[in-house]
Chains A and B, each alone.
Chain A
Amino acid sequence: MQINRRQILQGATALAGAATLGQPAFAQANPLQVGFIYVGPVGDFGWSTMHDVGRKRLEEVMGAAVKTTAVEAVAANDMERVATQLARQGHRLIFTTSFSFFQPTMRVAPTLPNVFFESATGTQTAANVSLYNARFYEGRYVQGVIAARKSKSKTIGYIASFPVPEVVHAINTVMRGAWSVDPSMKIRVVWVNAWFNPGREADAARALIDQGCDVICAHTDSPAPLQLANERGVFGFGQASDMTRFAPKAHLTSSVNNWGDYYVERAKAVIDGSWKPGDVWGGLNSGMFRLAPFTNMTPEEASEAERVRDALSTGRLHPFDGPLTRADGTVAVPAGGRATDDQIRAMNYFYRGIDVALPS
């Protein structure tokens, strides 16, 4: 991650050319044009869909003050061109909504100094690049607590996408939540190597249920695992959107992504000139995601889940407080300490007691 000489040169030439390039963007009476670049189709019912819901929310709230454009299913190879094209059409705020867009964003941003970029996840900010993401792990902790209450076999099934830190720390946190209720809780993990693949997700759920798991967590985007849980009479959680309707008997709660408020806030910041690069990692209290209403739970279970959720939201409870011990027995964070955000974001080990191998 270094800025090399060529990139600086490009930045300089772009500055020189910016006068002509940005012309249409500065007709002041015009609405702020906001671009969105999605890694998947808007109809994936998961990640990209929820960013598009955020885009619509932005239009709804800001009305004539903004005009939005979405470009779907963009490969990392094409990201720089799409971003430049958006800028040339007068877009001044661009949300690049995938980690695979982060490096292209860092490369293209210096060449478009009049455009503000917002990268959903990334590792560093720049003069016109902000990072944003949600602390979805807080929801995972609540899932762990609920799962420990509901499970009879004391085994959670986890459908994991890829062994990236985001998924690894989520698995750790589910178990932290589960152990807070019952230290004998166990977890089984199936890696499906996809963010969205309903067929494979359902197969994974089937395998986990056959192995005795009776609460299914999914770190993939489709409702397929939850639907299968419904069919097989076990419980599960929804992902990205409220999936109650897909599994009326199995659904416990869903982690519902909500980017709209952040998009509104950032668009307003550009309009009033207060936009600054930031690194936002919003938890439950930020509204970047929320938990869907608890279903299929007794009033006591639901009130406990609410209590845990509120404790996380207000910061009274933190899922990464020490001691944290790695699976190999070494101490990652001593008692009394707390994992830093950077440590959480780079987590590549399971806690002791989680008997799961990392593929690779």
Chain B
Amino acid sequence: MRIVLTRRDDAPAWMALVSPLIAVALTLLSGAVMFALLGLDPLKALGVYFISPISDGWALQELAVKATPLILISVGLSLCYLSNNWNIGAEGQFVMGAIFGGWVAIATHGAANGPWVFPAMMLAGMLGGAALAMIPAILKTRLSVNEILTSLMLVYVAELLLDWLVRGPWRDPKGFNFPQSVMFDKEAQVMRLMADGRINLGTPIAIIVVVIAAIMMARTLKGFEIRLVGAAPRAARFAGFDEKRLTWTVFAISGALAGLAGIIEVSGTMGQLQPSVSPGYGFTAIIVAFLGRLNPIGCLIAGVVLAITFIGGENAQISLRLPLDVTRVFQGMLLFYVLACDAVLNYRIALVRTGGAAA
């Protein structure tokens, strides 16, 4: 006996909207049971998780800061995934963006600089991310090397390069030999939008990127090409689309967006390069991209939801004194239910006798 999943071709469109709602409802229910078993008031605990991260202006700003890199990276990744290009190395492209952009900040440190410094950093960051992403793209199109492996392994290359730079040539000369760069000058830090919080220019940039990507996917030939190459590569070839060039394009775009996220994170929330600049944004963004159904607007929503559960988990540690593990279990439950609901609603599940007709 084995279990066979058959795609339902008749799955109605509203299911795509209802499925995540059911998942959230199931998460809330299981969460309530879990919190009750831990001896907490379930309503209060869920409130800490889901309401406290959106409860006031400061919390909303923090939410935006946390969600911004996830959104930027996941929008780029969804272009890759839609066209069957499996870029798993956004974490490395994020780091490379931080390195390239950070180089501009460090090279201009202490000099009298104009307002051009930050735009130059953003450009350099995008260039860095794109350059790293082009390596697996070219290896894939020229030598048919599996891009999953190459993009993933380049993550370690980027991380070790950053590690070496901040311990060696870019180490702050006045920093007691600790592994960190100088603090970026004011011109080299992302402009903050509010006086009372940390929200910065990165968030509106991410929203603009989402809007452009949404229009591109829905309204332009390029968007059609990306979807067609992914869904029906043979048809795409007949239509005259150049699959290789598309691979380069989507890798370059997603690398550039990850690099942009990297330099915004470094110059916005850290203000300097450290041996580690990402708490795994590049990998989390893969989850965001799929939760957002590889749709730019979906990525925006999923990025915010994931950021809520992350900050909610922190707040649960603070106000409920829950250990980190419990908060992680809760996040895991949410992801599990989202995927499970998708599978149950979009696939017919059947038990098939082994040796029977091929499904």
In the complex, chain B residues 280-321 whose Cβ is within 8 Å of any chain A Cβ = 311, 314-315, 317-319, 321
User: Measured between C-beta atoms, what is the minimum distance from B166 to chain A in Å?
Assistant: 10
B315's nearest neighbour on chain A, judged by CB, is A85
Interface residues of B in 242-269 (CB under 8 A from A): 265, 269
| A55-80 at interface with B (beta carbon < 8 Å) | 69-78, 80
Q: In whole angstroms, what is the CA distance A80 to B270 when docked?
A: 9
Shortest Cβ gap from B61 to chain A (Å)? 10
User: Given A77-B279, A81-B62, A103-B271, A1 and B179 touching (CB < 8 A)?
Assistant: no
Question: Contact residue range for chain B?
Answer: 35 or more
Say whether, besides A70-B317, A164-B177, A1 and B183 are in contact (CB < 8 Å).
yes
Instruction: Check if B196 is an interface residue, CB within 8 A of chain A.
Output: yes
Which of B177, B269, B272, B319 is close to A348, meaning CB atoms less than 8 Å apart?
Answer: B177
- Chain A residues near B317 (CB-CB < 8 A): 69-72
Q: Is the CB of B279 within 8 A of A165?
A: no
Tell whether B174 is near chain A: CB-to-CB under 8 Å: yes
Cα distance, A347 to B177, chains bound together (Å):
7
Q: Does B168 contact A (CB under 8 A)?
A: yes
User: How distant is the Cα of A13 from the Cα of B192 in the complex, in angstroms?
Assistant: 14
Indicate whether A99 sits within 8 Å of B178 (C-beta atoms), given known contacts A77-B278, A81-B62.
Answer: yes
A86 to B177, Cβ gap below 8 A? no
**A298 proximal to B (CB < 8 A):** no
Residue of A nearest to B319 (CB): A89
Contacts A10-B195, A69-B318, A81-B311 known; A75 to B178 CB distance under 8 Å?
no
- A345–B167 CB distance below 8 A: no
- Whole-angstrom distance between the alpha carbons of A74 and B269 in the complex? 14
Could you say which of A69, A74, A346, A360 contacts B167, with CB atoms under 8 Å apart? Answer: A360
B30 at the binding interface (Cβ < 8 Å): no
Q: B168–A360 contact, CB under 8 A? A: yes
Measured in the bound complex, the distance between the Cα atoms of B318 and A35 in whole Å is: 8
- B 5-20 binary contact with A (CB < 8 Å = 1; else 0): 0000000000000000
Q: Which residues of B contact A340 (CB under 8 A)?
A: none
Query: Which residues of chain A have C-beta atoms less than 8 A from B270's C-beta?
Result: 76-77, 103-104
Judging by beta carbons under 8 Å apart, are B321 and A69 in contact?
A: yes
When distances are taken between beta carbons in the complex, the residues of chain B under 8 Å from A41 are 324
Contact assessment for A72 and B269 in the assembled complex, using a CB-CB cutoff below 8 Å: no
- B140 sits at the interface (CB 8 A): no
Kindly state whether residue A327 has any CB partner on chain B within 8 Å: no
Interface residues on A, range: 35 or more
A211: Cβ under 8 A from any B Cβ: no
If A78-B279, A85-B318, A360-B168 touch, does A1 touch B175 (CB 8 Å cutoff)?
Answer: yes
In the complex, how many angstroms separate the beta carbon of A2 from the nearest chain B beta carbon? Answer: 7
Q: How far is the CB of B296 from chain A (nearest CB, A)?
A: 24
> Is A9 part of the contact surface with B, judged by Cβ < 8 Å?
yes
List CB contacts (< 8 Å) of A26-77 with chain B: 35, 41-42, 69-77
* Closest chain A residue, CB of each to CB of B166: A360
Tell me the chain B residues, 172-231 only, with Cβ under 8 Å from chain A.
Answer: 172, 174-180, 183, 185-186, 189, 192, 195-196, 198
For the complex with contacts A76-B276, A82-B314, 10 further pairs of A-B residues with Cβ separation under 8 Å are A4-B185, A6-B192, A71-B318, A76-B270, A78-B314, A103-B271, A103-B272, A107-B271, A193-B163, A345-B176
Nearest first, the 3 closest Cβ-Cβ pairs linking A and B are A75-B279, A360-B168, A72-B324
| Interface residues of B, Cβ cutoff 8 Å to A | 58, 62, 65-66, 163-164, 167-168, 172, 174-180, 183, 185-186, 189, 192, 195-196, 198, 265, 269-272, 274-279, 311, 314-315, 317-319, 321, 323-324
Jot down 20 A-B pairs with beta carbons below 8 A, ordered by A: A1-B174, A1-B183, A42-B323, A71-B318, A71-B324, A72-B323, A76-B274, A77-B265, A77-B279, A78-B279, A78-B314, A81-B62, A82-B318, A84-B62, A85-B314, A100-B275, A104-B270, A107-B271, A123-B176, A342-B176
Q: Which residues of A contact B (CB under 8 A)?
A: 1-2, 4-6, 9-10, 13-14, 17, 35, 41-42, 69-78, 80-82, 84-86, 88-89, 99-100, 103-104, 107, 123, 162-165, 168, 193, 342, 345-348, 359-360
